[in-house]
Amino acid sequence: MIQPDASIVILTGAGMSAESGVPTFRGVDGLWEGHRIEDVASPGGFARDPDLVHRFYNLRRAALNHVEPNAGHLALARLESEWRGRFLLVTQNVDDLHERAGSEKLIHMHGELRKARCEGCGAVMSWTQDLASGTRCRACGEIGGMRPHIVWFGEFPFEMDVILAALKRADLFLCIGTSGVVYPAAGFAQIAAERPNCHLIEMNLESTAISRQFHEHIVGPAAIELPKLVERLLAKR
Ligand code: OAD
C-alpha cells in the first residue's frame, strides 16, 4: 500500500510527450529522424560535422514552439503540488513540456533543448534561437564553443547524485513512456527495488526491456492513464 506521505520518484521518457506531438526515438528503422544516432548525438559526431548537429537540434528546438503539454504532464504537476511526501520528477526528455505544465521538482537528466552551453567558458544559458558554428557566447564573447545543452552518448547525465539519493529512499517508483534501453536511466528500477517495500509501476503502450522489474503495469497512453493514476494516489490523502 502506498502511504499518503510516501516518497515518490518518477522517470519519464519520450512516450510522455508522444501525445503532445513530439516524436519518440526508437523507430523500426533504428534511425533518429533519418540520422544515425552516433552522427547527431555524440561528441564525435559533433566534432566531425557541427553544422549537421546544429541543424538537427535547431529543428527540434523550433518544433517546441508548436507543441503543448498534454493531460499527463498536467497530472504530474498536480501530483507534485498536492502530494504531502517527498517528490522528484526525473525526465530523459529534452523538451520543456513538464515545466510548462507546472512541474518544479524536476531534473532534466539528458539536458534541455532550450538551453545552450559554451565549451569555452562553461556558461549555460537559456536559448530559444538557432545555434551555429559561428554563434558567439553571450557570457564570454567567444565564437566557436557553443553547443546544445544536451547529454550525448558517452557523456554523463546531469544530477545523478541527487537522483540516486532519491531512488534509495523511494517508496514509489513510477516509470512512464521509456523503452528502458538507455543507461543509467534503464537501471533506476533496479536501484529503487533494492529498498524494501518500494512499489514499482511501469506505464507504457507495450512491455519493455525492463518490464519484469515492475510490480504493476499500466498499459495505455500516458495522457489517458496518468490522470487516472494521479487521482488514485491523491484519493489516499
Ligand atoms: P524511446 O523512443 O526509446 O521509447 C519510447 C517509449 O515510449 C516506448 O517504450 C513506447 O512504447 C512508449 N510510448 C510511446 N507512446 C506512448 C504513450 N503515449 N504513452 C506511454 N508510453 C508510450 O524513448 P526513451 O526511452 O525516452 O537520449 O529514450 C531514452 C533516451 O534515448 C532518450 O532520452 C535519448 C535517446 O537516445 C539522449 O538523447 C541522451
pLDDT at 32 > cutoff 80: no
Cell of 142: 567567444
* Position 29 confidence tier, pLDDT thresholds 50, 70, 90: low
Cell of 195: 529498498
16 in Cβ contact with 176 (< 8 Å): yes
Domains of the chain: 8-22+68-110+157-234 (3.40.50.1220), 37-66+115-150 (3.30.1600.10)
- Closest residue to atom 25 of ligand 1, CA basis: 178
Mean pLDDT, rounded, for 94-109: 98
3-class SS of residue 218: strand
3-class SS of residue 214: coil
pLDDT at 34 > cutoff 90: no
The proportion of the chain whose per-residue pLDDT surpasses 70, expressed as a percent, equals 97
197 in Cβ contact with 150 (< 8 Å): no
Question: Does the reported pTM lie above 0.85?
Answer: yes
pLDDT of residue 30: 57
* Position 175 confidence tier, pLDDT thresholds 50, 70, 90: very high
C-alpha distances in Å from residue 63, one per residue of 17, 95, 112: 13, 10, 14
pLDDT at 150 > cutoff 80: yes
Strands 146-150 and 111-118: antiparallel
Alpha carbons 96 and 41: distance in angstroms, whole number? 19
Cell of 2: 502506498
Lowest mean pLDDT of 87-91, 181-185, 191-195, 233-237, name the range.
Answer: 233-237
Of 73, 98, 110, 199, which residue is the catalytic one?
Answer: 110
Place of cell 531512488: 167
Q: Is 215 among the catalytic positions?
A: no
* Position 25 confidence tier, pLDDT thresholds 50, 70, 90: confident
Cell of 174: 513510477
Residues with CB under 6 A from ligand 1: 13-15, 18-19, 24-26, 41, 92, 110, 151, 177-179, 182, 203-206, 208, 221-222
pLDDT of residue 197: 94
154 in Cβ contact with 135 (< 8 Å): no
